[in-house]
Amino acid sequence: MTSRSRTYGALPAPFGKFAHATVLPIAGTKLVFVSGVTARESGAVDAEAQTRVIYERIRTVLEEEGGGFQHVLKMNVFVLDIADYPATNRIREEFFAGLDAPASTLVEVSGFVRPDVRVEIECTAAIPQN
């Protein structure tokens, strides 16, 4: 099994030395580990707007790997203020409408590397290979 790190041209270049995702082919499936995604360089300011940008960026990664939100197994959501949970959850419900909910974790953090970030989301998906 050989994993490969990937970057996706439609997304801003990774901030630091990491890839947007790592893909691991395993038994007819691609495990896609999506790095923490933020809304940097989007102009989004509040948590709700940032969350929407983040889910759009995650969708880009999943679609470029041949999948979608129906393939997400696990999500980790990090918020700067737990009071933003209802807003971030509303956006999540839009992107997972009609789909089984993945396993999830949501935690409040004391800060992010970039001061304008209010939300960061990472996920793992299992996408069937053709």
Domain span at residue 76 reads 4-11+20-128
* Cα–Cα dist 90/72, whole Å: 18
Q: Could you write out the DSSP letters of every residue in 17-79?
A: S--SEEEEEETTEEEEEEEEE--TTS---SHHHHHHHHHHHHHHHHHHTT--GGGEEEEEEEE
Total domain count for the chain?
Answer: 1
What does pLDDT average to in each consecutive run of 10 residues of the chain (130 residues)?
61 66 85 93 96 96 95 98 97 97 96 94 93
Write the CATH number for 64.
3.30.1330.40
Look at residue 23 in the predicted model and tell me its pLDDT: 82
